[in-house]
Amino acid sequence: MELARTTLVLGGARSGKSAYAESLLADRPALYLATGQALDDEMAQRIRHHRDRRGPGWHTIEEPLDLALALDRHARLDRPVLVDCLTLWLSNLMHAGRDVDAAVGGLCEVLAEPAGPVVLVSNEIGLGLVPETRLGREFRDHQGRLNQRVAAQCRRVVFVAAGLPLTLKDTP
């Protein structure tokens, strides 16, 4: 499958979305734009797992907050960018007290005309139980709106469940 200018890969936790997104870029040099932060041992282990799976051919830049700026700075025609993941980025924004709507708007502006191919990974969290806490519900709602806005900007949107990709949108 030809790489779209912008691709959003959605899925639940451990659905295979990151591996699928990485497979889209496996035959070319790519930049991995990481939003996760190793704030505890579990997250450090997840980051190691992702790095090990990708192998040494990837260049990684860590950017937990200023994603639009990083994409604008690093996207180019000869090297696609993989952003993994929008869910951690959203969590970072909320934790830092940033204006989520403004940050998402900035990201969508960059995605409207990126300098090169961009693949983004995001969790679909709105399919489960309603979170017990106000913060949990606020996060779920922000995540749903983030996914909708980014999906509207992307030419291709793929939902991954049980490691199987299902194309939801494919605009030439």
133 with 142: CB under 8 angstroms?
no
Domains of the chain: 6-170 (3.40.50.300)
Paired tokens of 150: 């980014």
167 with 124: CB under 8 angstroms?
no
> Per the residue annotation, which of 49, 50, 74, 142 is the catalytic one?
50
> What is the three-class DSSP state of 41?
helix
Through-space distance between the first and last CA atoms of the chain, rounded to whole angstroms: 12
- Say whether 50 is catalytic: yes
Please name which of 61, 73, 72, 74 lies closest in space to residue 32, comparing C-alpha atoms. 61
| Residues 84, 69: Cα–Cα separation, whole Å | 15
pTM: 0.92
In order along its 172 residues, the chain shows pLDDT tens digits of: 689 999 999 999 889 999 999 999 988 889 999 998 777 788 778 777 777 777 777 889 999 999 999 999 999 999 999 999 999 999 999 999 999 999 999 999 999 999 999 999 999 998 888 999 999 999 999 999 999 999 999 999 999 999 999 999 999 8
